[in-house]
Amino acid sequence: MRVLVTGGAGFIGSHVVEALAAGGHEPVVYDVRTDPGSDVRDLDAVRRALSGVDAVSHQAAMVGLGSGFADAVEYVSRNDLGTAVLLTAMADAGVPRIVLAGSMVVYGEGRYDCARHGVVRPGPRAVADLTAGRFEPRCPACGAELSPGLVGEDAPVDPRNVYATTKLAQEHLAAAWARVTGGSAVSLRYHNVYGPRMPRDTPYAGVAAFFRSALARGEAPGVFEDGRQRRDFVHVRDVAAANVAALQAACPPGALVAYNTGSGEPHTVGEMARALAAAYGGPEPVVTGEYRLGDVRHITADSSRLRSELGWKPEVGFADGMREFARSGLRGQ
């Protein structure tokens, strides 16, 4: 299978390229990092790149929190206009399959259970609560403490920042393309991806890369809030393997299927910082109490659908992955 990998020179994309090649496929890298003319928003360039292609792994995106509106136009241009251009070219060329780099940010907050009211959906956290160090969402019906759980793909979506909104729009565009063309579309809703080749200190790097960069400078990682916020840290090679599985799967035509792509092992941000610092041999993390508007408290995945339907399973455990990440190099932007 000949697969165009947009963003194929980036953090996740480069691992997808390697996984495809290892599986006997022919990856074609399309990335502005290696060729300034490879802009996914350039319809003519994308059409040329799709020549002889059987499927697309769409990793190109502007990533990050996007909590304000200063970068809104750029996010929408790179993520949504870029996806629309790509899908238009695919429709013209008759390329029948796309696997999209989705994101768990489309859910907003994760799943919460109230002892009295069952599953509830707390609204955005108030600035006054965050400033006072009250980080845990409360039941919107009775104000009681909540128990966080795993989010399934059928949970309502609630994007809470610009980046999250563009990631959901990408899914809607791919679903519309699939309905019109009869093609198959898969969105892999990545959780917190980490591993070799993460970009160092940039506004769009994941928290793992910020902690790793701090350790490389001899500084203690600064952990926001109280460090107890739960995430699902999934290794980049496992994410790459999920892309290959999705590209090879017999997915239904005319529709988009979403799969959570996580390790299935929730860990707190503080836990991750301590594991990384211990593996690196650097200073202990410092809990700062700072916060970012637009961040959610807990978001962890139920990835059982991906396991059962595509036969995928993560291979890199948390402890081993953090030890490897502590030794691996970061890349510049």
pLDDT at 245: 98
Along the 333 residues of the chain, how does pLDDT read in single tens digits? 999 999 999 999 999 999 999 999 999 999 999 999 999 999 999 999 999 999 999 999 998 765 578 889 999 999 999 999 999 999 999 999 999 999 999 999 999 999 999 999 998 899 999 999 999 999 999 999 999 999 999 999 999 889 999 999 999 999 999 999 999 999 999 999 999 999 886 655 688 999 999 999 999 999 999 999 999 999 999 999 999 999 999 999 999 999 999 999 999 999 999 999 999 999 999 999 999 887 899 999 899 999 999 999 999 999 999 999 999 888 764
pLDDT at 66: 58
Q: How far apart are CA 300 and CA 318, in angstroms?
A: 14
Residue 258 phi/psi, 5-degree rounding, is: -105, 140
Catalytic residues: 163
pLDDT at 333: 46
CA distances from 236 to 2, 13, 218, 313 (A): 22, 9, 25, 13
233 neighbors 272 (Cβ within 8 angstroms) = yes
Within 10 Å of residue 188's Cβ, how many Cβ atoms?
26
Angle, to 10 degrees, between the axis of helix 236-248 and the axis of helix 11-22? 50
Residues 6+ apart with CB under 8 A from 285: 211, 220, 221, 222, 223, 227, 270, 273, 274, 277
pLDDT at 152: 96
CA distances from 266 to 37, 120, 301 (A): 40, 20, 8
Q: How far apart are CA 256 and CA 63, in angstroms?
A: 22
Q: How far apart are CA 321 and CA 191, in angstroms?
A: 15
| 300 membership: H or E segment, kind and range | strand 300-301
| 6 membership: H or E segment, kind and range | strand 2-6
- Check: pTM over 0.85? Answer yes or no: yes
Q: How far apart are CA 210 and CA 9, in angstroms?
A: 21
| Burial (CB count <10 Å: 0-12, 13-18, 19+), residue 131 | exposed
Strands (E), 89-199: 97-103, 111-114, 118-120, 147-151, 184-190, 192-194
pLDDT at 331: 79
Residues 6+ apart with CB under 8 A from 40: 6, 30, 46, 60, 78, 82, 83, 85, 86
Angle, to 10 degrees, between the axis of helix 207-216 and the axis of helix 269-280? 30
